[in-house]
Amino acid sequence: MNKTIALFLLFTTLLSAEIITPIPDVKPFDKAKVALGKKLFFDTNFSKDRTVSCASCHSDFGTDRRALSIGVENKKGIIHSSTVFNAVNNYKQFYNGRAANLNEQIDGPIHTDYEMGISDQDVENNLNTSKEYKATFKKVYNQVPSYKLFKDAIVAFEETLLTPNSRFDRFLKGEDSLTQLEKDGFNSFKEHGCAACHNGVNVGGNSMQMIGSVIEYPYIEGQQDLYALTKKEMDKNVFRVPSLRNINKTAPYFHDASASTLEEVVIKMSYYNLGTILEDKETEAIIAFLKTLDGDIPKTWSEDVK
């Protein structure tokens, strides 16, 4: 089936349903485990040269303001770091969906030589030579530290990194209102077909789609798209659709960090994926709508977990 037709059919189906759903509140969690996971997430000792932590590439609203993150030995990454905020709601992890969940995702940056570059065994050695970590793992898990439990604790922390209470979510719940410009933006977002890919609780993150499905988008050899996994030509420039949650806070944008403003994002996506050149007023309205998706910074991120 032609991709444009498929997107249109998906879009018309979505029009009959609620295309965006509010982010739920954080569920009750094990505070000791989450506190441990947060400490591990921010600890640079779990990298080859002890200079990089998970937070090094996910520090500002869960993402990286640099186009490419810097890993151990000052090595550059090959794709822009996506946010860990609300990542638990993504149906797969990484741009090409190569990890099924957050637990699998951790293996990528931990082991990749230009990110943290450390082995399972070295993680365990670092944990077990620390009296503090040994005592904490004993308290939380009643076990000696292991790589498996190391990942479990980090996942527990990441699962709390939700950003509820955006103005748009409150609007959906009938607790707040939108300006006319914001409403116009949401209507344009739906009418032009943006909602065909950006829908659900994360306003994205729940499907794999081609960037440049209508007008061909520049291809970067060696990039981490779906083609890197399948080697099928049809999967070139196919990526997991990014979440639009907090997009106002997470520049630069796209896998190649080629857009630095929301205006660039809206114009480029309208052109490459919809074959549309928007009027300036429509672009302004859609940007106004996108800004209503800014949610609260997770408390477990900004405050001590007690």
Between CA 94 and CA 87 the distance in angstroms is: 10
Looking at the chain, how many residues does it have? 306
The alpha carbon of 40 is separated from its chain's Cα centroid by a whole number of angstroms, namely 20
Q: Which of 104, 115, 233, 284 is catalytic?
A: 115
DSSP string, 130-197: -HHHHHHHHHHHSS---HHHHHHHHHHHHTT------HHHHHHTTSS---HHHHHHHHHHHHTTGGGT
φ/ψ region of 283 (left if φ > 0, alpha if ψ in -120 to 50, else beta) reads alpha
Between CA 297 and CA 306 the distance in angstroms is: 17
Asked about 115 being catalytic, the answer comes back as: yes
Q: Give the DSSP H or E segment for 208.
A: strand 208-210
Residues noted as catalytic:
115
